[in-house]
Amino acid sequence: MNDSDPVPMRLLVALNALRAFEAVARRLSVKAAAEELNVTPSAVSHQLRGLEERLGVDLLRRAGQRLELTETGAILASELTAGFLRIAGAVGRVRRDRAVGPLRISLLPTFATHWLSPRLAAYPFDRRGFELQLSTTQAVVDLAAGEADAAVRHGCGSWPGLLADRLFAESVVLLGHGGCAGAGPEALRRRLGTCNLFLSQHRKRDFELWNAALPGGPLAFRGVTVVDSAGLALRAAIDGAGMTLAGYEIAAADIRAGRLADLFGHRVATGKGYYLAYPVALARDSRLRNLRAWLLEQAGGP
């Protein structure tokens, strides 16, 4: 904020009380206002009494069986109605903006490059309701704040305030350059003793579990290089710089294409998976439902 910015005024009364008064002023009925606001008439009356006490003026008066606005009440009601209409319009515009155009999806870079990209040729981009805007980041975007409409996340499937559909569970394998395929276990063990292991910083515990359960005993590498992303570790393995431990499901397309080889055929479940996460309010959005159905189909079903 600079010196020319308007200074926000502090609201001296409860917003709920103003909302209750505005509804009563429009309807000239406590009962009708209570039905509109989905509260009890006594709750509305309590809000009105508190507002009048707070302001030190009468806003409404009885004229027989009818309610009437005082002069002060009429002025305040007019301003409040205009203000609430502006608020409703702003909210409506935000909702409309989010309800049209491409669905904005936040993706983990490794998921986007190694799982989604090989399948994008099959995505029906030309069909109405399937438009996408894709972005990749390692950060957890705030979906509630509108930073994206939905996200593919890695974890156990529980994020406060969000629904999450599991696309697939995860298991990890040791991967090397495709040229390593076909080598016997003993030859591989001798070779790995002279190789470097590229390990994502998030895979340290997974590697310990995988290595401890490896038939024939754990492996020893010449060195271990910790990197900040699984994508970089996979790229190093594809380029023949060393080996990596990664999710089999993420690397499956590279294995089928011969760019990577599952060296021991030894898979260990991590207890985690990849999920499509989205706010509850978006659950019935046709664009989200279209993407969800397509992702689940590509992943092999719910």
* Four-point Cα dihedral 95, 97, 100, 103, nearest 10: -90
- One domain for residues 85 and 125: no
Sorted by sequence, the CB contacts under 8 Å of residue 230 that are 6+ apart come out as 110, 200, 202, 203, 244, 246, 247, 250
- One domain for residues 85 and 117: no
Contact 76, 21 (CB under 8 A): yes
Contact 155, 140 (CB under 8 A): no
- One domain for residues 71 and 171: no
> Which residue has tokens 């590697």?
207
- One domain for residues 280 and 133: yes
Asked if the structure places residue 69 within a domain, the reply is yes
Asked if the structure places residue 10 within a domain, the reply is no
CA-to-CA separations, 78 to 50, 69, 82, 113, in angstroms, rounded: 20, 11, 6, 56
Given 47, 66, 99, the domain boundary residue is 99
- One domain for residues 80 and 197: no
Identify the domain containing residue 137 by its residue range: 101-302
Which CATH number belongs to the domain containing residue 186 in this structure?
A: 3.40.190.290
> Which residue has tokens 């998921």?
111
pTM for the model: 0.69
Alpha helices in 38-139 (DSSP H): 41-55, 71-99, 109-111
How are beta strands 103-107 and 132-136 bridged, if at all?
parallel
- One domain for residues 84 and 192: no
Buried b (16+ CB within 10 A) or exposed e, 276-289: bbbbeebeebebbe
Given 56, 82, 99, the domain boundary residue is 99
- The DSSP symbol for 201 reads T
Q: Which two tokens stand for residue 282?
A: 């978006």
Given 64, 99, 134, the domain boundary residue is 99
What SS3 class is residue 265? coil
- One domain for residues 223 and 282: yes
Q: How far apart are CA 297 and CA 302, in angstroms?
A: 8
Asked if the structure places residue 6 within a domain, the reply is no
- Residue 175: closest CA among 238, 91, 126: 238
- One domain for residues 166 and 273: yes
Asked if the structure places residue 2 within a domain, the reply is no
What does residue 258 show for φ and ψ, rounded to 5 degrees?
A: 85, 5
Number of structural domains (the chain) is 2
- Residue 231: closest CA among 202, 196, 190, 210: 202
Q: How far apart are CA 84 and CA 70, in angstroms?
A: 20
Which CATH number belongs to the domain containing residue 43 in this structure?
A: 1.10.10.10
Each residue's pLDDT expressed in tens, for the chain with a length of 302 residues = 455 555 555 667 888 999 999 999 999 999 999 999 999 999 999 999 999 999 999 999 988 888 999 999 999 999 999 988 888 777 666 565 565 689 999 999 999 999 999 999 999 999 999 999 999 999 999 998 888 999 999 999 999 989 999 999 999 999 999 777 666 777 788 888 888 999 999 999 999 999 999 998 999 888 999 999 899 999 999 999 999 999 999 999 999 999 999 999 999 999 999 999 999 989 999 999 999 999 999 998 54
Asked if the structure places residue 172 within a domain, the reply is yes
- One domain for residues 220 and 265: yes
- One domain for residues 264 and 159: yes
